[in-house]
Structures are given as structure tokens and as C-alpha cells.
Amino acid sequence: MRETDPAPIRAFLAKLKGENRAHNAFLQRVEQMRERLIADDAALTEFAAAHPQADISAIRTLIRNTRKEKEQSKPPKNFRALYQELKAVMEEAEGLRPSENHDFEDSENAEE
């Protein structure tokens, strides 16, 4: 192990560190979007325009329920659910997650 060249290992670790930074930045964008959506009704219109594939009615319901949770000092169940929904939509939009509409059987049959 001591005779192994450390350069490729260091390069790989640096790449991982860069990917982690990019992923952390993405997660911060999701958190910021959640805060904007909770604070401002107009933000939902902007989000819908930027993410037409999103289920806006479900997001609207989560926003409404999150606001009620905060008012009533309840546990943040909908707050967390809103984050997960936004994360899924934004991951799909940025190509970080495959679309749920993707039909894997067709791609398998195409290879034959």
C-alpha cells in the first residue's frame, strides 16, 4: 500500500469532495425554495413555471398544511414532506433523478 501512487487516490477524493459540495449546494437551494414557498404565495407561481412537471396541487396542500403546523406549534410533518416533494421535483428537473414515467421494460426490449 505504501508503494502505491497516492495521486489517483487524492484525485478521486478531491472529486468526491467537489461532488459533495455541489450536492450540499443543491440541498440548500431546496431548503431556500421551501422557505420562499411558505413565506410567499407568489413563489408557487414562479416554481410552477420553472417546474411544469411538478404536482402543484400537492405542493400547495403541503404548503397550506405546513403553515397550519407552524401556527399550531405542531411537529413539522408537512414541513418535512414539503422538502421531500420539492427535492424530488428539483432533482428530476436537474437530471439528478430519473423520471418516474420512465418505462424500464421498453429500454430492456430495445437492447434485444
Q: What is the CATH number of domain 7-96?
A: 1.10.60.30
pTM (predicted TM-score): 0.71
Alpha carbons 108 and 97: distance in angstroms, whole number:
19
pLDDT digits over 35-93, tens only? 999 999 999 999 999 999 999 999 999 999 999 999 999 999 999 999 999 999 999 98
Domain boundaries of the chain, sorted by first residue:
7-96
pLDDT digits over 84-103, tens only? 999 999 999 888 765 554 44
Query: Residue 107's pLDDT band (boundaries 50, 70, 90)?
Result: very low
Residues 6+ apart with CB under 8 A from 44: 37, 56, 59, 60, 63
Yes or no: say if 62 and 85 are a contact pair by the CB < 8 Å rule.
Answer: yes
Rg (CA), the chain: 20
**Taking 60 as the threshold, does the pLDDT of residue 23 lie above it?**
yes
Cell (9 digits) for 40? 410567499
Alpha carbons 14 and 17: distance in angstroms, whole number:
5
